[in-house]
Structure 1
Amino acid sequence: MYFETEDKVRLYYEDLGKGQPIIFLTGFGGNAAIWQGQKSFFVKQGFRVVCLEYRNHGRSDHVSYGIRMNRLALDVISLIDRLDIFKPVIVGNSMGGSVVFNIAHLKGWDYFSKAIIVDQSPKMLNDEKWKFGFKNMKLSNFLTVIGEPLNHPYYQHVDDEVFRASKAVDIDFPFSRRESEDLLTDHALKDWRGVLRDANIPIAFILGKESAFYNEENAGALRWINNKIEIHSMNRVGHIPMAEDPKTFNEIMLRFLKS
């Protein structure tokens, strides 16, 4: 299905099932099929599942404007309003986690019932006091690191069904990093720690112990920001844990939703 944003961009989304809404947001360059291992599972558990593909991603329109984090957040808000959704659970992987932070900045955390951030830091730039950033990226080497290919996001082979579904979308609707380079830069320079500090709803981080992008051993810094955060580390998965081990991911997520 498609809806049109205020600035005339057609965005692709999926709306499955009935019950408490869960909104799944992908990372940079991703498409909704990366959540293939979650869709039917959570529908069967009595949830309503909504997946969105951002502008310039997947089956959504590819345009030369609005390629910023704040615009992506506004697009998600527009979809939530259009579907008349109240207090959804929000789940964001990688850059999708930053979109969650951006929405909370605009609307407040009470806009959601619960939030799950999947292998994403609230601050990607490392410094003397912050070590839970992206790779070894810091201000002095920012242009070099951010320009590197985003290789090896997975630690183990992606679930076969997820791989086939996501690859089919990539083939028919190829992603252009060049078209969205400004979005990646905007994403990487954000510092959402203040937003996370203000969180007053249940929030869980699900991290991959073998992530090539974030060092899970430094994730304890999240609790210095907000000591109510739950941190769950998954063994033998990388940056896309929900696609690498859907069964374990779903078990962790379901326990959090029922707690």
Structure 2
Amino acid sequence: MKNLIKTPAQKDTNVSIYYEDQGSGQPIVLVHGWPLSGSMWEYQVPVLVEAGYRVITYDRRGFGRSSRPYSGYDYTSMTEDLHDLIEKLDVTDIILVGFSMGGGELARYAATYGTSKISKLIFISSIAPYLLKTDDNPDGAPEVVFHEMEENIKNDRAGFLKTFGEGFVNYEDNKDLISQGQLDYNFQIAIDASPKGTLECINSFGRTDLRGDLEGIEIPTLFIHGDADHIVPLAPSSQQGHQLVKDSQLKIIKGGPHGLYLTHKKELNTLLLDFIL
């Protein structure tokens, strides 16, 4: 368990990014989703470590044990944090994995810093490339969806996150796959995050157009998505991403909700190992 202290460019505060570095071998960096932290990877880390990989998880700024600055929740700043972590650890030949909002960091990293240090990209239930419905992105979600999320966070963050957590895993359909205890744990992670960071990230994952970022990717890339994901619709996200990234793969997990890393962890872990081994 370690901390990375960085001084962000053009920011007036230092930001400390918490990360954990376990195992040895080819490095895998796991980027978590919203509104969680690196703790979400509890059921993936041991599988990957035991398969012979060095697994690095970290908490996005504003979440988990990282600093909680009042600004810098745009993808450019958050990807700079990822870049600084990679530089600090001096790792190469990285398998970079992003869940949900974390897919945005993968796309922006590839577009900004290139892929010379990255061997493979894996997008899981990813928001990339573009969630907002526009004239040229008709399968996206209407603006009102993100506006309502923002209003709910402003007015009753705890109440919203409680309900969101159930929809995250399609709880009514998956009670035999996930416990109430796990739901409570997810809620605890989410409610402990920075209220400002939780709010600002909605704009980033909801309204950032990453289509151009994905188009330049030329390394092996895998998209994994559940066909029962009611949080991030498949069409504007993984399906569109698969179409944009040349020679990429798209794997659909039948019955998988957004939080399939919990409900369908065996299927997910098998897909991860099949792609990276």
TM-score (norm 1): 0.87
2:45 aligned with 1:27, yes or no? Answer: no
2:270 aligned with 1:251, yes or no? Answer: yes
Matched with 1:175 is 193
Matched with 1:6 is 7
Matched with 1:153 is 168
* One of 210, 214, 217 as aligned partner of 1:199: 217
Matched with 2:112 is 106
Matched with 2:133 is 126
Matched with 2:69 is 63
Q: Following the alignment from structure 1 to structure 2, what is the Cα–Cα distance between the partners of residues 254 and 106?
A: 27
* One of 180, 185, 189 as aligned partner of 2:207: 189
Q: Is the 8 A contact 1:90 1:100 kept in 2?
A: yes
What code does the residue aligned with 2:66 have? S
Q: 1:223 to 1:180 in 2, by over 3 A?
A: closer
Q: 1:179 to 1:221 in 2, by over 3 A?
A: closer
Shift of 1:227: 4.0
Q: Is the 8 A contact 2:63 2:197 kept in 1?
A: no
Judge which range, 205-214 or 88-97, deviates more: 205-214
Shift of 1:180: 3.6
Q: Following the alignment from structure 1 to structure 2, what is the Cα–Cα distance between the partners of residues 82 and 27?
A: 22
Q: Following the alignment from structure 1 to structure 2, what is the Cα–Cα distance between the partners of residues 257 and 132?
A: 31
Q: Following the alignment from structure 2 to structure 1, what is the Cα–Cα distance between the partners of residues 242 and 81?
A: 30
2:147 aligned with 1:143, yes or no? Answer: yes
Matched with 1:42 is 48
Q: Is the 8 A contact 2:150 2:199 kept in 1?
A: no
Matched with 1:82 is 88
* One of 92, 95, 100 as aligned partner of 1:94: 100
Judge which range, 234-243 or 215-224, deviates more: 215-224
Shift of 1:197: 1.2
Q: Is the 8 A contact 1:19 1:47 kept in 2?
A: yes
Q: Following the alignment from structure 1 to structure 2, what is the Cα–Cα distance between the partners of residues 224 and 128?
A: 18
Q: 1:244 to 1:144 in 2, by over 3 A?
A: same
Q: Is the 8 A contact 1:216 1:233 kept in 2?
A: no
Shift of 1:223: 4.1
Q: 1:227 to 1:79 in 2, by over 3 A?
A: closer
SS at match of 2:252: strand
Shift of 1:169: 6.4
* One of 209, 226, 232 as aligned partner of 2:251: 232
Q: 1:5 to 1:165 in 2, by over 3 A?
A: farther
Matched with 1:52 is 58
Q: What is the aligned length?
A: 254
2:216 aligned with 1:209, yes or no? Answer: no
SS at match of 1:113: strand
RMSD: 2.7
SS at match of 2:64: coil
SS at match of 2:20: strand
Q: Is the 8 A contact 2:111 2:216 kept in 1?
A: no
Q: Following the alignment from structure 1 to structure 2, what is the Cα–Cα distance between the partners of residues 122 and 128?
A: 15
Q: Following the alignment from structure 1 to structure 2, what is the Cα–Cα distance between the partners of residues 67 and 228?
A: 31
Q: 1:80 to 1:220 in 2, by over 3 A?
A: closer
Q: Following the alignment from structure 1 to structure 2, what is the Cα–Cα distance between the partners of residues 18 and 55?
A: 26
What is the CA deviation profile of residues 186-207 of structure 1, one whole-angstrom value per residue up to 9, with x for unaligned ones?
A: 3322111112111100111110
2:182 aligned with 1:163, yes or no? Answer: yes
Could you tell me which runs of 5 or more consecutive residues in structure 1 were left unpaired when the two chains were aligned.
none
Q: Following the alignment from structure 2 to structure 1, what is the Cα–Cα distance between the partners of residues 123 and 90?
A: 23
Shift of 1:166: 5.0
What is the CA deviation profile of residues 194-243 of structure 1, one whole-angstrom value per residue up to 9, with x for unaligned ones?
A: 12111100111110111112333665433432341211111222112212
